[in-house]
Amino acid sequence: MKFCIFGAGGTGGTLAAYLAMAGNDVTLIARGKHLEAIKEKGLVLHTNHRGTETIDNLKACTEAEYSDTPDVLFVCVKYYNLEDAIAFVKAKMFKDTLIIPILNVFGTGGVMQEQLTEYTCLDGCIYVMSEIESPGVIYQSNKILRVIYGYRPGQAENLKDTAQQLEGVLREAEIKGHFSANIIRDALQKFAFVSPAAAAGAYFDATCENFQHPGEERDTFIGLIKEVVTLGKAMGVEFEQDLVEVGLKMMDNLKPDSTMSMQRDIIQGRQSEFSGLVIRVVNLGKEYGVLVPLYEKINDWGAAKAIK
């Protein structure tokens, strides 16, 4: 299949690398020194389970330079850059391209669809632990790599053949692809780990080790998961798994010195996904009449610190 990956950070870079290594036609939309390094030397994927590999059969360019017609566009930017992705679709994409945002923030596909009524925007999510190690180099710290995507309830199932084919293409690329029949549940389940982990990690400025042992940090992490679960149930979502148990298992399997990307962004004074991972939950709580006191506490803390 022909892919365009909008966003060349840890998520987009890892996804592009695996798809290209499997022989797919991949173009990575990138910027700055990262783009220059990829153009000059190829994309380098550094992992603990595969070693270091250089992928030189993928293309890389800026938004303005792109002129192809992909089967699938994966949107892999931070939530605060979503408007850039929407502008890119309007300027460069065609109606027969399947658009799949796989951001950390729940419900991004629906947000995009509202502004892209002529296109097909699914919802999706990704499980991956990776980041830019240096210009042109992506470090994947854990071998987990799973992409889930699907149509929202009531959404017209346009381009369904592409959506169905994509699942097999992902799996051939050693990506655990899943074409979900219940993407709201599946995306919220992922959000129920990412959002609590990011919120608690930022609030306590702690590594995963602090959440792997009994104490205030772990209790807060558990409490935040429970608040997302309660919110999901108010939205009509029935979870098939105990998300506290799932979240703790995921946390306990992470490297003790690991931190969350939102936490790292806040520490370094960069724009963060605080609005999407914390404020959004508070607002959804108000919308659905659900109490989320821990999220409100962290939201107030963020407001006091003027976190971007």
Per-residue pLDDT at 49: 86
Q: Range(s) for CATH 3.40.50.720 in the chain?
A: 2-181
Q: Count the neighbouring beta carbons within 10 Å of the beta carbon of residue 154.
A: 5
CA gyration radius for the chain? 19
Residue 161: both structure tokens together: 């053949």
295: helix, strand or coil: helix
| Partners of 54 in beta bridges | 44
DSSP 195: H
Instruction: Please name which of 249, 236, 239, 242 lies closest in space to residue 208, comparing C-alpha atoms.
Output: 249
Contact assessment for residue 266 and residue 279, using Cβ atoms and an 8 Å cutoff: no
Q: What angle do CA 69, 75, 79 make, to 5 degrees?
A: 150
The token pair that represents 174 in the structure block: 């050693």
Q: Judge residue 181's burial from the number of C-beta atoms within 10 Å of its C-beta, 0-12 exposed, 13-18 middle, 19 or more buried.
A: exposed
CA dist 3 and 128 (Å) reads 19
pLDDT tens profile 205-235: 999 999 999 999 999 999 999 999 999 999 9
Burial 95-129 (b: 16+ CB within 10 A, else e): eebbbbbbbbbbbbbebbbeebeebbbbbbbbbbb
- CATH class, 2-181 region: alpha beta
Residue 254 is predicted with a pLDDT of 84
Residues of the chain under the 70 pLDDT cut: none
Query: C-alpha distances in angstroms, 146 versus 3, 11, 59, 243, 255?
Result: 17, 11, 23, 17, 18
Q: What pLDDT sits at residue 260?
A: 86
Predicted pLDDT at 308: 83
Domain 185-304 classified CATH 1.10.600.10?
no
Q: Which of 40, 12, 41 is nearest to 27 (CA)?
A: 12
Using CA atoms, how far apart are residues 192 and 134, in angstroms rounded to an integer? 30
What distance in Å separates the CA atoms of residue 79 and residue 9, rounded to the nearest whole number? 13
Domain ranges in the chain with CATH number 1.10.1040.10: 185-304
DSSP letter at 52 equals E
Strands 72-75 and 2-6, bridge-based pairing: parallel
What's the pTM value of the predicted model, to 2 decimals?
0.89
Enclosing H/E stretch for 252: helix 243-253
pLDDT of residue 50: 87
User: Which string of b and e fits 257-296 if b means at least 16 CB within 10 Å?
Assistant: ebbbbbbebbeeeeebbbbbbbbbbbebbeeeebebebbb
Q: Over the stretch 228-253, which tens digit does the pLDDT of each residue have?
A: 999 999 999 989 899 999 999 989 98
